[in-house]
Structure 1
Amino acid sequence: MDSFELNKIIGALLGVVFVIFSVSLLSETFFHSPAPETPGYAIVVPEGEGPAEGDGEQAPESVLPLLADADPSAGEAVFKRCQACHTVEEGGPNKVGPNLWGVVNRPVASHEGFSYSAGMQEYAQGGEVVWDYENLDHFLASPKAEVSGTAMAFAGLKNVEDRANVIAYLRTLSNDPAPLPEAPAEGEGEAEDDSQATGDGQEAAPAEGGAQAAPMEDSAEEAPAEQQEAETEEGADGGEAAAPAEEEQPAATEQ
């Protein structure tokens, strides 16, 4: 290969480099996109539309008023989602979760032979906390929210009727089912409101009477003053009217 052919190859390479460099400069000129001063996007939220500071997640509806009419058969159907981790027969083995026979009113983290998570043991407070209807309701609604650090991966039952039915089914898993919580009698709340309304009215009446009685007291205080002035004038004129007033004072002292 002579020098002429080598020069042509080098010139061709330089030409390619020049073309690529020129294209990159032109493309940067036409499609220039400067970096933003502040990375990301600013989302403007109008005042008053966001949640108020300190507002937590709304508490789920309680199942206690629904337990008396809950359907254990429907709860058993919902409980099928839990059968992969729990057994329910008396003396049944533990699986991923403990056996749930007699779970209602059983002390938390107390089933023999099951290794509970540290979060559940802390929630149990040494056996002082039991799985009553209220605690079961909160735990089934959101296990992670009720027991921080629990190993239970179940997301929870958001429907209050599903929770009531499941708890009614769990109640049947016992030789001596726990008594149901007493539901408030119908009209009890209305009766309390009526009594409060009546009490408010009775309290208001003396206030009005007191306001009316004030002028009477003033007039009673003014009357003796006028009478004393009249007696003084009569005593100054005749001297006879003042004498009976002096005689009446010892009688008042005796009384």
Structure 2
Amino acid sequence: MKKIGFVAALAVLLASGSAFADGDIKKGAKVFKKCKACHAVGEKAKNKVGPILNGVVGADWGHIEGYKYSKPLLAGKEEGKVWDMETLSAYLKKPKKVIPKGKMAFAGLRKPADIENVIAYLDQFNADGTKK
């Protein structure tokens, strides 16, 4: 019976498209150090210059309460935009290309592997900061 429960849980994870993205979480933690000046993750995370990033993978744009987002990002939220893998990848590569007049000052990550790894790192965090 336990085996059936495990298989069912695994099927739900795989069907959700999540399962921690395809990157390496440990390598993503190292890449995320570049982001820590402005962003935080985890159970005690607080907004900084940028919003906390708990639960960002798959979330709607502008989902963090209490953070003052840019007008262009809020316009994307009104359009129903979501931080899916494709959008996050494009944003992490060139933020100003995805949100031209957004607040993000970071130029972007050059290496596709770094982008994939940081998304995997972020994907492990639930909206409340606990790990999946």
What interval of TM-score do these two structures reach, taking the shorter chain for normalisation?
0.7 to 0.9
1:103 aligns with 2:56: yes
Structure 1: which 5+ residue stretches go unaligned?
A: 1-66, 178-255
For 1:96 and 1:158, locate their aligned partners in 2 and report how far apart those are by CA, in whole Å: 22
Give the Cα separation in 1 of the matches to 2:74 and 2:45.
22
Q: Which has the higher contact order (CA 8 A, sep 6+)?
A: 2
Q: Percent of aligned positions with the same letter in both sequences?
A: 41
Q: 1:129 aligns with which of 64, 81, 97?
A: 81
How far did 1:127 drift? 6.1
The 4+ residue runs of structure 1 with deviation greater than 3 A are none
1:154 is displaced (CA, Å) by 0.4
Q: Say which one has the larger Rg.
A: 1
TM-superposed CA distance for 1:148, in Å, is 1.3
Partner of 1:167: 119
Q: Deviations over 1:102-130 (max 9, x none)?
A: 11111101210000011211222x16111
Q: Against the structure 1 CA distance between its residues 105 and 132, is the aligned structure 2 distance closer, same or farther, given a 3 Å change threshold? A: same
Residue-pair matches, total: 109
Q: What secondary structure is seen at the aligned counterpart in 2 of 1:92?
A: coil
- Native 8 Å contact 1:86 1:100 kept in 2: yes
Structure 2 segments unaligned to the other structure (5+ residues):
1-20
Does 2:116 align with 1:156? no
Q: Distance in 2 between matches of 1:110 and 1:172?
A: 17
TM-score w.r.t. length of structure 1: 0.41
Q: Is the contact between residue 108 and residue 127 of structure 1 (CA under 8 Å) also seen in structure 2? A: no
| Paired residue secondary structure (2:33) | helix
1:82 to 8, 24, 35: 35
Q: What is the CA–CA distance in structure 2 between the aligned matches of 1:98 and 1:135, rounded to whole Å?
A: 17
User: What residue in structure 1 maps to residue 45 of structure 2?
Assistant: 92
Normalised by the length of structure 2, the TM-score is 0.77
Kindly tell me: are residues 148 and 162 of structure 1, through their superposed partners in 2, closer, same or farther at Cα, counting changes over 3 Å?
same
Partner SS, residue 81 of structure 1: coil
**Structure (1/2) with the larger helix percentage:** 1
What's the RMSD between the two structures over aligned residues? 1.6
8 Å CA contact 1:98–1:114 kept in 2: the answer is: yes
